[in-house]
Amino acid sequence: MNAIVSAFRPSSGLLTAKRTAAELSEPYSTPPIPLFEIAAEQGASIIFADFGQHSSVVAGFCDFENAKIYVNNDDIWPRKMFTAAHELGHWVLHRRLFEEDPQKYAVLPRHQVGKVNSLEQEANAFAAELLVPRKLLEPVKHAGAVQLASIFGVSRQMMEIRLKNV
């Protein structure tokens, strides 16, 4: 029975990712969402670091063993926040999976080329909902994307995408 149910189970990963992020941002009523605080509550710390020779290609990664999220310090603030939120998504949603099978984990590149897999999509959806919670965006969605991006501490590009989905 269980095998049949799971075989026909629709992909609920994205929904779970969004719901989990919404729960974590629930206590906050004004942007920006305190990412460092939320990460700490989840047992992980966010560290801005110099990536040296990898700086031009890697935006960030999670050290699951030591509960540390490393973010490329060369990036601008909104990008750092996205990277941190994306990796926090992996930490919260996929930690066990990656611990069991480290091959499934991939560092976040600075420039994404081509399609991303479902785990990356889930981390992206988690980051979007965490940094720009639907609940907080809904009442102010008619303000301009530039102003909203600044208020929520995210990139204009991310805010424009978010506004299309609210």
Report in angstroms how near the CB of residue 142 gets to Zn ion at its nearest. Answer: 32
Residue 75 sits in the site that holds Zn ion (CB under 5 A): no
- Regarding 129 and contact with Zn ion (CB under 5 A), the answer is no
Residues 60/101, Cβ–Cβ less than 8 Å: no
**Which one, 108 or 136, has the nearer CB to Zn ion?**
108
Query: HSE (CB half, 13 Å, CA atoms) of 7?
Result: 4
> Least distance from C-beta 119 to Zn ion, angstroms?
7
Q: Which is nearer to Zn ion, 35 or 108 (CB)?
A: 108
Per the listing, tokens 């099978």 go with: 101
- The CA distance from 102 to 130, in Å, is 25
Contact pick of 75, 120, 122, 129 for Zn ion (by CB under 5 A): 120
Q: Is the dihedral of CA 115, 120, 124, 126 positive or negative?
A: positive
Nearest to 117 by CA among 105, 127, 134: 105
Q: How far is the CB of 66 from Zn ion (least distance, A)?
A: 18
Part of the chain binding Zn ion (CB under 5 A), chosen from 33-41, 100-108, 129-137, 139-147: 100-108
Q: Which residues contact Zn ion (rule: CB under 5 A)?
A: 108, 120, 123
